Amino acid sequence: MAIKHWMAGVALAAFAGLGAYVFWGSHSAAAPQSSFVLLDGSTRTTEDLKGKVTLVNFWATSCTTCVAEMPEIIKTYDKYKDKGYDTLAVAMSYDPPSYVVNFVQSRQLPFKVALDNTGAAAKAWGDIRITPTTYIVNKRGEIVKTYVGAPDFAELHKLIEKLLAEA
């Protein structure tokens, strides 16, 4: 009997956790005000994200998951870039700029890449310490989904298509 109660408790906790993830993991909140210094020296701000569906990916060249997911991020960018979608990859402050530049050039990343030299962007976006951390921002500049770790790209594509269809 005790094992049945224990299993019911575990099931209830799992269900509650899933509910919390669905509720808190998919709500909309304004993207934090921040600025990003791109590799070419230009600056982008959170305001510049408005009008497009944007994937904001905090990553590092030393992060094996980040490196492994980058080809899928490129494919996603290439698939939707002409439909109102953009990508901004933000290299973490501990990532040496020369490593980031080499990675971007050798992998021919087709989207904007920023260096977060001071860590201010990572701090503004929730004090990010785990990479990859990826945000999906809608056309209104609201974060609608957060992924810690590599996203499920099939699910991500469905979400992007839904957001691109919104007015």
The pLDDT value recorded for residue 3 is 52
The pLDDT value recorded for residue 28 is 76
Beta strands in 8-123 (DSSP E): 29-30, 35-38, 43-45, 53-59, 85-91, 112-115
> Which residues in the chain come in under a pLDDT of 70?
1-27
The pLDDT value recorded for residue 103 is 98
The pLDDT value recorded for residue 155 is 97
The pLDDT value recorded for residue 35 is 95
